[in-house]
Structure 1
Amino acid sequence: GWQRTSSTQRQSEFPKVNADGDYWFRFTAPATAKDVKLEFAFVEFPAQQDAQGNWNVIAKAPKAGYQIARWIVDGVKVPDPGLEFTYSNGWVSTIEIPSPQDSYYLMRDVPHGDVREHWFFSAIEGKWRRAYVYTPAEYDSRPDKKYPVLYLQHGAGENETEWTHTGFAAIIADNLIADGKIQPLIIVMNNDFVYRPGDNRGRLALADKWNENYEEMFFTEALPDIEAHYRIITDAEHRAMAGLSLGGMLTGTVGVRHSDMFSWLGIFSGGVVSEPALLRKDTVKLVFETCGSEEYPERIQQNAEQLRGLGFNASTYVSPGTAHEWQTWRRSLYHFLQLIFR
């Protein structure tokens, strides 16, 4: 039989899924619609109209994990109103496809930490900024204990909410802590984008100026404010930086430039360390470069080999069967967390 998916809105009947892994999507388009398709994990499926005028698609999921699912009505992409909306290059309708081999991000009956909204004022931007801060389950009951910290950046299409809502960073950390695989830690998720008043927001994100804006905001405002409000061990050995895509590029530039402050660096689908001469041998304990098998595994493996030749501990992870997508980055975080603060 058919059942609603875990991502189906509570007031919606569709999408549905059956025991064979077929997904049934239904959409009511305007009566004038001529051509209706479903875009599901970036694969297009033609829809069939039923006697009631609804458009239907029954299909297997092209990929597991977090996937965009939306309709294309006469060439116009529209969200599926039956699904949850997530921020990814704008608001899109998304569906979570189960992945049997990736149980580490499933909610379990273990002690759970908190994800806090932390607001601080940025004089650089002239406005209040928000960071999401994960604290481990024991944090409030251990008032005398200080913790290592991971500064975790999102990608170009996201914001500070995505590592929690889509990447399941808090659940991954909870499960690893409960299993004794990692020590309790704090995870700080800032917004990558920093605009001074008057900045052109168009393509600034890919410019050196944006990079410099973030660098100044992070080290003069965000990091001191976080360390003033949370019980954090403030040396390089207990401080890590990582990020996905654009956030990985930040780690590979800003993090590398300040490698006197970070012993652990993680670059997830964000290129490679292009200026290894800036890495500090006295502080850097790990450079961890990852990507999906459908991205550029040879490139990260070659770069890691180069870094090892220079005397650094560098390792790689290639996510099997994935591309530039959240399943790659969930897996990358899962592995990175088990390598740091050791």
Structure 2
Amino acid sequence: MPDANIGQGGIRNFGERNLQMFEKELKESIIPFAESNYRIKKGKENRALAGLSMGGIYTLYAGIQNSDMFSGLGVFSSGYMLPMLQDVADKQYKFLNENKSAFSSNIRNFWISMGGKDDIAYENGQKMLKELDKTGIKYTYTDYPGGHTWPVWRNSLHQFAQVLFK
């Protein structure tokens, strides 16, 4: 669980640079460290990436850009924070449109969940779902009442974990 490189300025200065730093850390440090120090199966078919809230944005970015590294993506209570990340979102949707076949064959489980209409990320998540529908990308969507809270994310992880690696 990396610190996600928010850095100085916090959320107000969050942008594509933070996402790129996370992607690099994930590929160059986190995955190699885990595979070298823990008894886990290697390879994309044995690897999934999930995140909640801001971590869901990191998951979207790294997972979409590197779908050849994962078999599942879990995005809990998230969606691109608009308008702050509109440019990033537009690039991601364009990338998905251009790489739809590869993404669809790589990612067997694209799980998106929200905490219902009380979730502060609900509106951005719904906009993201509409864009994914336009691209024809398949995903599973669920919501669980409770807003942007731990019980919602625990439920999301419980459901997502059951469909992984089958």
TM-score bracket for this pair, using the shorter chain length: 0.7 to 0.9
Q: What is the identity, as a one-letter code, of the residue corresponding to 2:54?
A: L
Contact 2:75 2:113 in 1 (8 A): yes
| SS across alignment from 1:260 | helix
Matched residue, 1:227: 35
**Which protein has the bigger helix share?**
2
Normalising by structure 2, report the TM-score.
0.76
| SS across alignment from 2:142 | strand
Match of 1:306 among 133, 148, 157: 133
Matched residue, 2:113: 290
Matched residue, 1:201: 8
Identity %: 28
Match of 2:104 among 281, 289, 292: 281
1:203 deviation in Å?
Answer: 2.8
Contact 2:67 2:107 in 1 (8 A): yes
Q: Does residue 327 in structure 1 map to residue 151 in structure 2?
A: yes
1:253 deviation in Å?
Answer: 0.7
Matched residue, 1:337: 161
1:311 deviation in Å?
Answer: 5.5
Q: Considering Cα pairs closer than 8 Å and 6+ residues apart, tell me whether 1 or 2 has the greater RCO.
A: 2
Root mean square deviation of aligned Cα: 2.7
Q: What is the identity, as a one-letter code, of the residue corresponding to 1:287?
A: F
Within 2, Cα distance between the matches of 1:336 and 1:300? Answer: 21
Q: Structure 1 residues 223 and 302, CA, compared in 2 at 3 Å: closer, same or farther?
A: closer
1:1-342 equivalence runs, <5 A: 190-194=1-5, 201-203=8-10, 206-271=14-79, 275=93, 276-277=96-97, 278=99, 280-293=103-116, 294-295=118-119, 296=122, 299=126, 302-303=129-130, 306=133, 310=136, 312=138, 314-320=139-145, 322-342=146-166
Within 2, Cα distance between the matches of 1:301 and 1:246? Answer: 14
Normalising by structure 1, report the TM-score.
0.39
Contact 1:252 1:267 in 2 (8 A): yes
Within 2, Cα distance between the matches of 1:330 and 1:243? Answer: 11
The number of residues matched between the two structures is 146
Q: 5+ unaligned residues in a row in structure 2: which ranges?
A: 81-88
Give the structure with higher Rg (CA): 1
